[in-house]
Each structure stands twice: as structure tokens, then as C-alpha cells.
Amino acid sequence: MAVIQGIWAELLKFSVRQRQPAQAVVCFQYSDQLRGESMTYANAIEPPIAGRPKSLGFIRNDLSGIHAPRHAAEVWRHALGLGHHYVYTVRPPVDVDSPIEYVLGVAAGLGVDVIVVFELGHVDDRPALICDRGFDLETVSPQGAWTRSSRLVSGEGA
């Protein structure tokens, strides 16, 4: 158990317990001291199934605004509907200079095959920014798919 006190919130407990040999559940309780609210979050972490591509959701809060939670849910549903193993939804911090480079770093670190976005605007209407770095790109609205380029670009300036 870890207790961390801060100005806005206090993390009350953190535990990982094994449910199945291949699945762990991470639980933590978040308490907002100013509002007197407490919520428990649980996230099941499952291993990928062989043959299913791993996908990562990408939501930019500066573009989705108040619709970000709905967009994230639709990205998740879209990836699962395609039969992907959905790994995570990335929402880059607002102070990141390049949110696309941020998500590309996370995607490379997690070893995903596909990045799923709500709309093409999340990648600045340039699918090549994702595909030239070795990832497939899927959009929810309108539905579209771009495959990774045969020519891979490494580093910045892609």
C-alpha cells in the first residue's frame, strides 16, 4: 500500500492482485479532498492473443474538447470491432510541443501495430506522419485505414 498526499488529491491505496495466471487487475482509489469525493478505478491488463494486431488509441484534448471521453470510447469500440488487442488510450498532456511525436514514442515503446484516432485531424490531416514511422492508422469518423509505408522514416522531421 502506498499513500501519497498532495494539494488536490490523495492516493489512498494501490494494489495488484492476480486473478488468472495471465491477467492482472490494477486497482486504486482516488480521493478529491476539496470535493469530498472518492472513486475506485480498475483496469484489467490482458496479454495479447497471437495473431491479433495490438492497437493504441490517440485522442487530442485540444481537438476533441468536451467530447474527448466519447471519442475515446468510440476509438476503443472501433479497435475492438476490428478484432484488435487494444492496449491503451493516449491523451498527451496539453503542454507537449508535438502530440504526434509523443504518441509515436508511446506506440514504439508498447510495440503496437495500429494507431486508432477519432478523426484525421488528430494527426494534422497527414496520415504519412504515422505510416512513415511504421504504424498502420485507423480513423473512426469517417472510417478509414492507411497502411504503414514501405519506406520507414526514423527520428524527427518525419
Per-residue pLDDT tens digits for 120-145: 999 999 999 999 999 999 999 999 99
Q: Is there a domain that residue 128 lies in? A: yes
pTM of this prediction? 0.67
* DSSP E strand stretches across the chain: 4-5, 9-20, 23-32, 37-45, 54-58, 85-90, 114-117, 136-139, 144-146
Q: 14 lies in which domain range?
A: 4-45
Rounded CA-CA distance 90/107 in Å is 9
Tell me: do 73 and 136 sit in the same domain: yes
Q: Is there a domain that residue 93 lies in? A: yes
Tell me: do 63 and 83 sit in the same domain: yes
Residue 29, sorted as left (phi over 0), alpha (psi -120 to 50) or beta, turns out to be beta
Tell me: do 39 and 75 sit in the same domain: no
Structure confidence at residue 50 (pLDDT): 73
Tell me: do 74 and 104 sit in the same domain: yes
Tell me: do 139 and 89 sit in the same domain: yes
Rounded CA-CA distance 147/128 in Å is 9
Total domain count for the chain? 2
